[in-house]
């Protein structure tokens, strides 16, 4: 049986996911086989494995840091909010059913039994399992049937480290208050705390750390500085993008809809020095971007209503008339078509809804969700911004409920050549005749640097600018270097030897 350690937090967004990835990388560098594990994750950002199973993105980048292939059991329970206090419950990569919050709470004991077996298989297979909690560990109203934090720590019999975020303020109170609200048995599991996202001089914390340790009776294992490490942020739109536009930049604006999903599709742009990104949210207007992106959506019709009622649809139409590139991914692709049909009431009571109409396509929502990984080749003889891209290889994954039929006035974007490791041959995506409206179901299509850099350079040429080479050879290589940088930060600011000691002592 392998060693295990669990990171829990005083709240959401304290940095548990990044620290989990960092520890995975540290243990990998030290020669151990290591895997991440998060029993329950609530997120709209998800990923499709090679087996066609759905899981949270955080455990994907943690698996990358650990140097292993992501599998759905790293995140056995994925909750995707669907509105009205309901969520889609995905267990071991497959949709089980939609549940209300109260129904899900009463269902947890059944899931707890499954989690015990799943975790045992991980513990038997890997030298170290780095576990991550969800939200706050001190949600005393949810203590009964908890399977995300201390409940999972008990199932796995794992020691716990609690993470607090000093950047939001009140870190000493939040750590001490969290310990106060835990039961005596739960406190026994806590072997230390971490202060995360520190921006100041560490010596100024000295007296506070000493007082905190006297109160909570466990050590502060490290004070982690706020670092500009470019790793996925699963829970919120990243603020690390360059938002100040230079005249020589390719300026991209992304519609931030209420149910936006998989915004990690756009992380690749952070590696390109000539790209500036702006998310356009509620009450804001589009500027004069070179590219407008409509991202994925958990509720396509509701998000299209939002775009229409907020005035953004008309602005998108005006930018299209000016020849700007309009690019839709998944739900955004569906919105760009003429019609959305929902005969089985997958999304609600509306059976037919007008799309934006920039692509000659009609989408019909189906009962079954499409979940697959694919490889594809960009179609030949596309025009406009998509010219000279024919033959380029891309890959991605699909997560959608709809089937989109294309009309005679659009061309397919690509040909799918491989699906879940099997050879296939069918067309996907849509491009208008002018080559300035594009839609695809492929999440991750921009991760291929060759394709993305060529597209950006087509836009640069249209603006009268010189072509630019990519600052990274591949997105995967870039990410691996960032995981190594993260491990360096943890080795410098976290007591890694003490963490090994905690894991060893717990096994005795």
Tokens of 453: 């850099």
Token digits for 134?
């969800």
Contact assessment for residue 270 and residue 243, using Cβ atoms and an 8 Å cutoff: no
Among this protein's residues, is 145 annotated catalytic? Answer: no
Q: Dmax of the chain from CA atoms?
A: 73
CA distances from 482 to 231, 240, 429, 442 (A): 7, 14, 32, 25
Using CA atoms, how far apart are residues 171 and 174, in angstroms rounded to an integer? 5
Spatial separation of the C-alpha atoms in residues 146 and 39, rounded to whole Å:
11
> How far is Cα 44 from Cα 416, in angstroms, rounded to an integer?
25
Burial class of residue 345 in the structure, from the number of CB atoms within 10 Å of its CB (0-12 exposed, 13-18 middle, 19+ buried): exposed
- The answer to whether 467 and 274 are in contact (CB under 8 A) is no
Strand partners, 87: 81, 99
Q: Is beta strand 410-411 parallel, antiparallel or unpaired with respect to 430-432? A: antiparallel
Tell me which H or E stretch contains 302: helix 300-309
Residues in Cβ contact with 455 at an 8 Å cutoff, skipping those fewer than 6 apart: 385, 386, 389
Tokens matching residue 61: 């980048």
Whether 85 is catalytic is no
Which of 330, 345, 400, 506 is catalytic? The answer is 330
Identify whether the C-beta of residue 150 lies closer than 8 Å to the C-beta of residue 40. no
Which of 251, 320, 400, 443 is labelled catalytic?
443
DSSP E strands in 173-312: the ranges are 190-198, 220-225, 250-255, 260-261, 275-280, 291-294, 296-297
Residues 6+ apart with CB under 8 A from 346: 365, 366, 367, 401
Q: How far apart are CA 38 and CA 53, in angstroms?
A: 16
Catalytic site positions: 330, 443
């Amino acid at each position: 049986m392998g060693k295990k350690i669990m990171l829990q937090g005083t709240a959401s967004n304290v940095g548990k996911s990044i620290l989990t990835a960092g520890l995975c990388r540290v243990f990998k560098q030290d020669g151990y086989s290591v895997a991440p594990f998060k029993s329950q994750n609530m997120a709209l950002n998800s990923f499709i494995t090679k087996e066609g199973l759905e899981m949270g993105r955080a455990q994907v980048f943690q698996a990358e840091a650990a140097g292993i292939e992501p599998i759905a059991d790293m995140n056995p329970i994925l909750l995707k909010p669907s509105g009205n206090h309901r969520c889609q419950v995905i267990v071991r990569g497959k949709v089980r059913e939609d549940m209300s919050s109260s129904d899900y709470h009463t269902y947890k004991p059944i899931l707890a039994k499954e989690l015990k077996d799943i975790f045992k298989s991980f513990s038997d297979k890997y030298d170290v399992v780095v576990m991550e909690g969800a939200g706050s560990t001190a949600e005393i109203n949810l203590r009964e049937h908890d399977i995300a934090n201390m409940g999972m720590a008990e199932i796995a019999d794992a020691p716990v480290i609690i993470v607090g975020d000093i950047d939001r303020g009140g870190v000493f109170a939040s750590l001490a208050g969290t310990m106060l609200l835990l039961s005596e048995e739960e406190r026994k599991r806590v072997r230390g705390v971490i202060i995360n996202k520190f921006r100041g001089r560490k010596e100024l914390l000295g007296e506070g750390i000493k007082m905190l340790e006297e109160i909570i009776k466990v050590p502060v294992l490290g004070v982690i500085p706020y670092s500009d490490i470019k790793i996925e942020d699963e829970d919120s739109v990243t603020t690390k993008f360059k938002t100040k536009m230079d005249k020589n930049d390719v300026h991209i604006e992304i519609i931030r809809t209420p149910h936006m999903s998989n915004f990690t599709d756009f992380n690749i742009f952070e590696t390109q020095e000539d790209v500036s990104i702006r998310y356009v949210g509620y009450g804001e207007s589009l500027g004069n971007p070179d590219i407008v992106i409509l991202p994925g959506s958990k509720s396509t019709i509701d998000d299209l209503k939002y775009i229409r009622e907020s005035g953004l649809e008309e602005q998108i139409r005006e930018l299209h008339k000016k020849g700007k590139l309009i690019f839709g991914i998944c739900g955004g692709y569906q919105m760009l078509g003429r019609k959305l049909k929902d005969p089985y009431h997958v999304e609600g009571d509306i059976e037919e809804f007008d799309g934006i109409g920039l692509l000659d396509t009609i989408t019909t929502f189906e009962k079954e969700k499409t979940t697959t990984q694919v490889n594809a080749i960009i179609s030949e003889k596309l025009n406009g911004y998509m010219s000279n891209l024919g033959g380029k290889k891309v890959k991605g994954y699909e997560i959608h409920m709809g089937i989109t039929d294309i009309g005679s006035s659009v061309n397919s974007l690509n040909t799918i050549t491989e699906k879940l490791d099997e050879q296939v041959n069918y067309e996907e995506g849509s491009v208008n005749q002018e080559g300035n409206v594009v839609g695809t179901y492929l999440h991750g299509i921009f991760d291929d640097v060759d394709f993305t850099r060529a597209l950006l350079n087509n836009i640069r040429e249209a603006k009268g600018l010189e072509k630019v080479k990519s600052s990274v050879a591949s997105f995967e290589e870039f990410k691996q270097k960032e995981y190594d940088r993260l491990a360096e930060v943890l080795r410098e600011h976290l007591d890694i030897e003490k963490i090994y000691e905690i894991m060893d002592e717990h096994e005795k």
